Amino acid sequence: MILMLGPPGAGKSVQGGLLAAELGYVSISTGVLLRAAADDELHERMLRGELISDETVQELVKKEILKLHPPGSLILDGFPRTPEQAKWLVSWAKDNDVCIECLLHITNELDVCLERLTSRGRHDDKPEVVRERYEMYRDVAGPIIEIMVDAGIPVLTVDGSQSIELVRSLVFAQIDQRRKC
Ligand code: AMP
């Protein structure tokens, strides 16, 4: 299982999709799963750029990982999003014999994210909500990376402001040496 971390608009879903195709994995986005859930209150929270509770998202993630054969053959886009989720995932993966191969961190400046997302037009892509989501990412990225490093999980950081093709080639060039299992 490969984890993806990055601000909104960094290119996580595009790069996650490309990497999944390359590795024969499935790319799973917690944002997409949550948007598909029949729960108005949850959707309201998402529109305001607020996070959904750790327990709710952890349950979803657990189910998705166990559905696959082998259970870890996925790219997880948008999870973990809090240090608590990161700790939970490290411990759950260990207990269930699922390998966390690496954390792929795609970085980007707020200005580039704002520019990209305004043209995407999703309902939670309003500039003030993007700023909120960006700040949330900035607060948790360091602690999440620290938890992964402490758990011996390799972290690969790539500058997402470059073209899709360039980011893709940087990721592909480095991912094999950086995967733990
Ligand atoms: P995304 O599609 O990754 O930008 O996620 C869209 C929204 O879904 C986020 O702004 C959150 O409201 C919610 N969400 C996605 N992943 C998580 C997560 N791991 N924990 C909590 N909320 C999440």
| DSSP codes joined into one string, the chain | -EEEE--TTSSHHHHHHHHHHHHT-EEEEHHHHHHHSS-HHHHHHHHTTPPPPHHHHHHHHHHHHHHSSSTT-EEEES---SHHHHHHHHHHHHHTT----EEEEEE--HHHHHHHHHHH--TT-SHHHHHHHHHHHHHHHHHHHHHHHHTT--EEEEETTS-HHHHHHHHHHHHHHH---
Span from the CA of 32 to the centroid of ligand 1 (angstroms): 8
Which of 27-31, 36-40, 67-71 is the most confident on average?
27-31
pLDDT tens digit string along 143-172? 999 999 999 999 999 999 999 999 999 999
Give pLDDT, residue 177: 86
Q: How confident is the model at residue 49 (pLDDT cuts 50, 70, 90)?
A: confident
Span from the CA of 142 to the centroid of ligand 1 (angstroms): 18
Q: How confident is the model at residue 100 (pLDDT cuts 50, 70, 90)?
A: very high
Q: Which residues line ligand 1 (CB under 6 A)?
A: 8, 29-31, 34, 45-46, 49-52, 57, 78-79, 81, 85, 124, 133
Give pLDDT, residue 94: 95
Span from the CA of 170 to the centroid of ligand 1 (angstroms): 26
Give pLDDT, residue 121: 78
Q: What is the mean pLDDT of the chain?
A: 94
Give pLDDT, residue 154: 96
Name the residue of 52, 61, 88 to mutate for ligand 1: max ligand atoms within 8 A of Cβ: 52
Nearest atom in ligand 1 to 32's CA: 2
What number is the average pLDDT over the span 33-41? 92
This model's pTM is above 0.75: yes
